[in-house]
């Protein structure tokens, strides 16, 4: 396997795989990870030979979301989550994106996968919108996309409680996303990608643009509200203490 944090591979018939594989940081949102993933999507978006993207992680992780350093910077007001726009990469990609979430999706890492056009989950993997575990309100467009993809009852429960769920739990709760065993996730995603790649690129781009237009129109308003909530909730001393406690430092 490549030692690159983000590996871009041409598979077949216009299918491009973007594999996130920063094992040292469990695909957390480090500066290098953000730059690599943003660059990969920028490259794919410009390529006329690409028809579909498969976004996946490694082994037991899809993405663990915010790092301790990143959360500290948010607490200190040095950055906002909009400065590092990962959440809309899949949404704004002109061609369809299939997220093969074979491993755990934590916080922003979970939300990032929800913005894909097709999202495949693993029965065994853990998924959580754990922002409130740190004492601050959710960001990255989660208050918008989670109700859209999971339904409002489950999404609100996830965000309020910061509880963890396995894909199996989602299946029992009637989530309308493909949820299969971990070893089947990538192949399921590739099958979906092959079906998409059979279509003309211009038709895929045109239809995706149409289908995502309402989402792209509504998202900025939710982002503004999330930033406003962060101004109220992120800079509490208790938040800093919780960040240190969760990361054990």
104, 156, 210, 230: which is the annotated catalytic residue? 230
The enclosing domain of 133 has a CATH number of: 3.90.226.10
pLDDT digits (tens, 9 = 90+) for 113-140: 999 999 999 999 999 999 999 999 999 9
100 occurs within a structural domain: yes
Could you tell me the pTM of the whole model?
0.95
Task: Name the residue range of residue 104's domain.
Answer: 6-183
207 occurs within a structural domain: no
Determine the distance from the C-alpha atom of residue 125 to the mean position of all C-alpha atoms in its chain, rounded to a whole number: 14
221 occurs within a structural domain: no
Domain count, the chain: 1
pLDDT digits (tens, 9 = 90+) for 75-124: 888 888 887 888 899 999 999 999 999 999 999 999 999 999 999 999 99
For the ranges 50-59, 70-79, 147-156, 160-169, the lowest mean pLDDT is seen at: 70-79
74 occurs within a structural domain: yes
240 occurs within a structural domain: no
65 occurs within a structural domain: yes
Whether residue 156 lies in the annotated active site: no
- Dihedral over Cα of 214, 107, 26, 29: its sign: positive
135 occurs within a structural domain: yes
For residues 20 and 6, is the Cβ–Cβ distance under 8 A? yes
For residues 127 and 162, is the Cβ–Cβ distance under 8 A? no
């Amino acid at each position: 396997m490549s030692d690159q944090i983000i590996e871009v591979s041409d598979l077949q018939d216009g299918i491009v795989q973007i594999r996130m594989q920063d094992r040292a940081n469990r695909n957390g949102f480090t500066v290098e990870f953000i730059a690599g993933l943003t660059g990969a999507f920028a490259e794919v978006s410009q390529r006329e030979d690409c028809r579909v993207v498969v976004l996946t992680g490694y082994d037991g992780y899809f993405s663990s979301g915010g790092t301790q350093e990143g959360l500290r910077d948010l607490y200190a007001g040095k950055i906002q989550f909009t400065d590092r726009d990962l959440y809309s990469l899949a949404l704004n990609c002109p061609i369809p994106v299939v997220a093969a979430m074979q491993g755990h999706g934590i916080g922003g890492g979970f939300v990032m996968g929800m913005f894909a056009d097709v999202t495949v989950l693993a029965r065994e993997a853990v998924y959580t919108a754990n922002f409130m575990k740190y004492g601050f309100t959710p960001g990255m467009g989660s208050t918008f996309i989670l109700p859209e993809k999971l339904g409002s009852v489950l999404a609100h429960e996830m965000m309020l409680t910061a509880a963890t769920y396995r894909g199996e739990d989602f299946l029992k709760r009637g989530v309308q996303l493909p949820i299969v065993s971990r070893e089947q996730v990538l192949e399921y995603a590739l099958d979906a990608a092959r079906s998409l790649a059979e279509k003309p690129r211009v038709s895929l781009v045109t239809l995706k643009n149409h289908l995502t237009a309402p989402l792209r129109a509504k998202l900025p308003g939710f982002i503004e509200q999330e930033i406003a909530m962060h101004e109220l909730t992120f800079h509490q001393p208790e938040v800093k203490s919780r960040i240190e406690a969760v990361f054990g430092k």
